[in-house]
Amino acid sequence: MTRALRVARHHLNDRTRDLLDKELTAAVCDIELDSDAHEAILAGIGAHALQTHLPGEILQALTFYPATGSHVLTIGNLPQQEFPATPRDGFTDEPAMAVTNALHFGLLQLLSLTPFAVDYENTGRYIRNVAPNPAAAGTTSSWGADSEFSWHTDNPHLPFGGKGVDPRRYVPRYLSFYAVRNDEQVPTEVLAIEGAVAALDETTVQELQSAQFTVGPPASTDEAAPLRDTALLEQSYEGTRARFDRGTVAPNTPAATAALDRWVRALDQARSEAFVLRPGDFLIFDNYRVLHRRRAFRPGPADTARWLRRCYAS
């Protein structure tokens, strides 16, 4: 089992990007396509255009990514439509984002993944606009900016799922992002769980694998119940899985308190990789086998502040 973060990096040349842009713009120009009501149609349009124009090597990488064990896959230089102002309240006119949505859902389709949302978060919408929202000031939320969002997995208060189940009841397997703007050059940082675990002593690993923690839902999710008497690390045939969010994990025993302390210190020292997403970049990572974080930052002018589009997929 490799311990370092494995990243598959791809990049479109400008000619491919422009052909893709032209085809997608034409395909969505005279119809109203919403990211929730018409997700399947957008995915079909996007997947068709991508299949027509992407080089075989990238198509292959997409097909095999879930099976390769790579923690992260990136594709740079995707088309950028004309973007509206960065949304301040978390939501934007989705039909106006049809080209971006066709790309995002089309890529998920080529990855053989199912996009989904849960109804208690983001008002149940597929696309989460990761952008500074004054209402989230001081919270560790993807809508925040002024607070560090330290190492975590998304929705750690849910059980781990497998194949062929309703993804909404389980930890999202993958987080996918399309970057609209990131003038502030704020990185999305990722570390491989195996690497952080390798630095721990055997006793600490055993304590972290024992059901002696309570894991609450993230700050952005007010209604969901915590997971009680659970472990933070679990062995699976694919490697070690983690559920973690420093802000919502509570130890239930003295041994759990000590182990949690050592885990937090190991995370501080773990080797990680920083992805500074640029407009038109796509990033997907395995939320079972990596932790991610975003440090506090000072957003640029509101209309052009950092804006990523995130979608869960399993």
Ligand X SMILES: O=C(O)CCC(=O)C(=O)O
**Is 121 one of the binding residues for ligand X (CB under 6 A)?**
no
**Is 286 one of the binding residues for Fe ion (CB under 5 A)?**
no
Full 3-state SS string of the chain: CCCCCCEEEEECCHHHHHHHHHHHHHHHCCCCCCCCCCHHHHHHHHHHHHHHHCCHHHHHHHHHHHHHCCCEEEEECCCCCCCCCCCCCCCCCHHHHHHHHHHHHHHHHHCCCCEECCCCCHHHCCCEEECCCHHHCCCCCCCCCCCCEEEECCCCCCCCCCCCCCHHHCCCCEEEEEEEECCCCCCEEEEEHHHHHHCCCHHHHHHHCCCCEEECCCCCCCCCCCEEEECCEEEECCEEEECCECCCEEECCHHHHHHHHHHHHHHHHCCCEEECCCCCCEEEEECCCEEEEECCCCCCCHHHCCEEEEEEEC
Among 16, 86, 100, 142, binds ligand X (CB under 6 A): 142
Among 42, 75, 108, 130, binds ligand X (CB under 6 A): 130
Q: Which stretch binds Fe ion (CB under 5 A): 151-159, 251-259, 283-291, 303-311?
A: 151-159
Closest separation between CB of residue 182 and Fe ion, Å?
Answer: 16
Select the binding partner of residue 53 from ligand X, Fe ion, none (C-beta < 5 to 8 A, by kind): none
Q: How many Å apart are CA 38 and CA 28, to the nearest integer?
A: 12
**Is 292 one of the binding residues for ligand X (CB under 6 A)?**
yes
101/188 with CB nearer ligand X: 188
Among 126, 149, 213, 244, binds ligand X (CB under 6 A): 149
- 292 marked as part of a ligand binding site: yes
Contact 208, 259 (CB under 8 A): yes
Closest separation between CB of residue 65 and ligand X, Å?
Answer: 19
**Is 154 one of the binding residues for Fe ion (CB under 5 A)?**
yes
**Is 189 one of the binding residues for Fe ion (CB under 5 A)?**
no
**Is 121 one of the binding residues for Fe ion (CB under 5 A)?**
no
Closest separation between CB of residue 308 and ligand X, Å?
Answer: 6
Closest separation between CB of residue 1 and Fe ion, Å?
Answer: 24
Among 35, 310, 312, 314, binds ligand X (CB under 6 A): 310
Closest separation between CB of residue 182 and ligand X, Å?
Answer: 9
Contacting residues toward Fe ion, per CB under 5 A: 154
As annotated, the binding site includes 292
Contacting residues toward ligand X, per CB under 6 A: 130, 142, 149, 154, 175, 188, 292, 294, 308, 310
